[in-house]
Amino acid sequence: MITIEKNCIDVQDYLAIRNSVGWIALKEEQAQKALIHSLYVIGAYENGQLVGMGRLVGDGAVICYVQDLIVSPEYQQKGVGAMILSHLVDYVKELRIDNTQMMLCLMCAKGREQFYEKHGFVARPTDSLGPGMIQYFC
């Protein structure tokens, strides 16, 4: 049975789950700082093992970003990602100040667009929204 735990992911588990899906390697110091400075981090566990995680960054008032949504390959296509995303969305809804609009954004990994569209996200660009953009500093 999958259980969700809030704000308790160990840096080594974070590095390992990133590695399990082939994401770029981070230094331990980077990973620790990323976890500490996140708005919200949740882990999906089975028998004490991290099998998925989600991480939100942002200001918590106007905009939040799903920065990480990772599910170990052997747990993909089993509803774990949807469970994590649902928890992240609920958290952002709780943050929203009454009578205001809150934005929840993300940069989708290539090939995962349908997953997010199924959960109410809109692919960009649209007629009124430009493309998501990125810049790396090495």
How does pLDDT run across 119-131, given as a tens digit for each residue? 999 999 999 999 9
Q: Is residue 62 in a domain?
A: yes
Q: 100: domain CATH number?
A: 3.40.630.30
- Structural domain that includes position 41: 2-118
pLDDT digits (tens, 9 = 90+) for 20-66: 999 999 999 999 999 999 999 999 999 999 999 999 999 999 999 99
Question: For the chain, what percent of residues have pLDDT higher than 90?
Answer: 88
Per-residue model confidence (pLDDT) at position 137: 85
Can you list the alpha helix ranges (DSSP code H) found in 24-79? 28-36
Q: Is residue 95 in a domain?
A: yes
Q: Is residue 138 in a domain?
A: no
Q: Is residue 57 in a domain?
A: yes
If we measure between CA atoms, which residue out of 19, 105, 4 comes closest to residue 62? 105
Q: Kindly provide the residue ranges of all beta strands, DSSP E only, lying in 36-135, ordered along the sequence.
A: 40-46, 49-58, 63-71, 103-106
pLDDT digits (tens, 9 = 90+) for 74-115: 999 999 999 999 999 999 999 999 999 999 999 998 889 999
Q: Is residue 125 in a domain?
A: no
> How many domains is the chain built from?
1
Q: Is residue 126 in a domain?
A: no
Q: Is residue 7 in a domain?
A: yes
Per-residue model confidence (pLDDT) at position 48: 94
Q: How confident is the model at residue 138 (pLDDT cuts 50, 70, 90)?
A: confident
What pTM was estimated for this model as a whole?
Answer: 0.94
Q: What is the largest CA-CA distance in the chain?
A: 46
What rounded mean pLDDT belongs to the chain?
96
If we measure between CA atoms, which residue out of 54, 48, 43, 60 comes closest to residue 94? 60
Q: Is residue 123 in a domain?
A: no
